[in-house]
Amino acid sequence: MLKRPINVYAVLILSGLFLGGCDDLLEDDISKAVVTHLAPCDSCSINASEIVFWWAQVEDADRYQLQVVSPGFDQIKQLIVDTIVTDDKWSAEFKHGNYQWRIKALNSYYQTEFFTWDFKVDTTGLNSGKKEVDGESDVTESN
């Protein structure tokens, strides 16, 4: 008589594990998706200290990993930003210099590859008085 309740419990436990593990079957695979950048333009020189990073949202992605380094990912001198963003824009103040930024889309089970672009900040003649990102200062962000 003790065998039947154990079998029922085993079936209930296995059913719960199976149903709980089905989320990955319901989550769409975004690993082949492309994250398209909108701003800043690739390889452009920007005469402003506030840089707005903007990209097209990837369908079924719920967040993005944004990274900014100086001068580039092949020769990183400073990791400036490494953050998770849930929107399609992020901004911060940057000092004069060369940078690369990259982004990838994520959901609960999948992620795209990183997509990378260059930009240069030319703050010659600017005097904003705002806090700037240089790898040693705090990041002033706005969403």
> Domain with 46 in it: what CATH number?
2.60.40.10
The domain tally of the chain equals 1
SS3 readout for the chain: CCHHHHHHHHHHHHHHHHHHCCHHHHCCCCCCCCCCEEECCCCEEECCCEEEEEECCCCCCCEEEEEEEEEECCEEEEEEEEEEECCCEEEEEECCEEEEEEEEEECCCCECCCEEEEEEECCCCCCCCCCCECCCCCCCEEC
What's the pLDDT score for residue 139?
Answer: 47
6: in domain: no
This prediction's pTM: 0.73
What's the pLDDT score for residue 63?
Answer: 98
50: in domain: yes
* Average pLDDT score, the chain: 83
120: in domain: yes
- pLDDT for 77 beyond 50: yes
pLDDT (average), residues 106-129: 89
11: in domain: no
1: in domain: no
What's the pLDDT score for residue 21?
Answer: 52
Q: Which domain holds residue 118?
A: 29-142
